[in-house]
Amino acid sequence: MKNNVKLQTRSSVQQQEVRKKLIELYKNTPLPVEQLMVNLPLYIRSSALAKLLYINELYELIIRTPGIIMEFGSWWGCNMVLFENLRNVYEPYNWARKVVGFDTFEGYLSPTEQDYVCTGGELAFKNNYSVSENYAEHLSALLDYMQEENTLSHIKKYELVKGDATKTIHTYLDKNPQTIIALAYFDIQLYTPTKTCLEAIRPYLTKGSVIAMDELNHFEFPGETIAYKEVFALDKYKIIRSRYLPDRSYVIIE
């Protein structure tokens, strides 16, 4: 990871110190690797577990809705792997439930004034939330393995779209006019790419489609809420707060 990465945190100094104990316990686990892989919950914090439950919450909402899953801002790709595996749990023969992730894999490109109005850009600076060099190739290998492990492994059901989403979303949709979007997951956080992608996907949504927003109503990333308001308005659809994470929201197109 690049040295200039700064992450959101709600933890106190005391919590951060306590979590160092968990890191040491994980690094020094007595479990053999093959056992560790199936016992990872031993080392998962409740806050991380809540994130997994939230992803499951979203997936359950779209099981009867046709279409693909799009994620804007994949970062390390954990959600993409979860979506791949949840498809195999809930609908293993739904080969049409493709998961498409959009990310620069270089962090933020061009924050704008809408991203700074509350915090002065403490987190919204260029290249923040970047990943390790060549990480996209590693993520592809992980997704390839998950597909080999799961049903209908001969059909590729994911795509990583690397680059500026304000451009790549149009390219993808032009090449895939058949697209229906069942779930659009937004963790891109900044105003311009969020607004551009919301506008681009709107004609591809159907009744029952879900739009999930990770930073709606967040003072640290005001650009996401501004973008959502300008495209959909706050009074058009009911905004639902996640059962598991107090700061995650979604809307269901009705």
Residue 35 domain-assigned?
A: no
Residue 25 covered by a domain? no
Q: Which residues contact 250 (CB under 8 A, 6 or more apart)?
A: 58, 61, 210, 211, 212, 213, 239, 240, 242
Q: Is residue 24 part of a domain?
A: no
DSSP 45: -
CATH label of the domain that carries residue 56: 3.40.50.150
Give the global pTM. 0.91
Residue 120 falls inside a structural domain: yes
83 within a domain of the structure (yes/no): yes
Instruction: Find all residues with CB under 8 Å of 202, minimum gap 6, and list them.
Output: 231
Domain assignment present for 21: no
Q: Indicate whether 30 belongs to any domain.
A: no
The angle at the Cα of 238, spanning 232 to 240, to the nearest 5 degrees, equals 115
Range of the domain at 180: 46-252
pLDDT per position as a tens digit, 37-89: 999 999 999 999 999 999 999 999 999 999 999 999 999 999 999 999 999 99
Q: How many domains does the chain have?
A: 1
Token code pair at residue 214: 């990770």
For 2-43, the pLDDT digits (tens) are 445 666 666 788 888 888 999 999 999 999 999 999 999 999
Task: Report if residue 12 sits inside a domain.
Answer: no
